[in-house]
Structure 1
Amino acid sequence: MDTTRATAHLPYLDVEIRHRKSDDEDAEYLSLTLKATPSLDAFGRHVAQPEVFAALMQMHPMTWWWRGAQAMMQPWLAMNRALLPAPGREDKD
């Protein structure tokens, strides 16, 4: 069997992915192993801390996309606010 293996070591979490193809059967196997030390619950509590969560969100690709979209739309949003009548001052025909 031909086996491919990838591992990642994160704080409190080890990840292992194995892929193998069987020669005698027409089949493939994929396994994902997570090892949390001391536990997945402790890892979840660590990630749930506001400063850790904020740091993780800085690396998230959707955060980068969202901030880029906001920056691109900012001139249009500012112009829209300038064109709207002030609150309480509505034009009457």
Structure 2
Amino acid sequence: FYRCRIVAPPQNAVGLQQNVSNPFRNLELVAERPVARAHSVVVELPSLEPASLYIAIMEASQPCPWAVLRLLTAAPLRMRELSSREYEFFREAEASSSTA
């Protein structure tokens, strides 16, 4: 489970946009768990920061057609898959990510 803190531009800045050449610059590993024998992974995060992007990724040694992502939260959230371009950026940033 990774977190990418969103850095807002200064309030007096006009016309600034996200740096698309490196959208995952602040990527950090929040939690990591091995896949259990039951082919499941449980990760508990005590709190989610509102101004952060969270990325869940599961890598198994064998493909699992029944993989399901379930999230239990106290507040509504938005979810989407990374685009293929975003996924490439994520993989590059993952190698140099820090641990939270």
Place the TM-score, normalised by the shorter chain, in its bin: under 0.3
Taking structure 2 as the reference length, the TM-score comes to 0.22
Greater relative contact order, per chain length (Cα 8 Å cut-off, separation 6+): 2
Structure with greater strand percent: 1
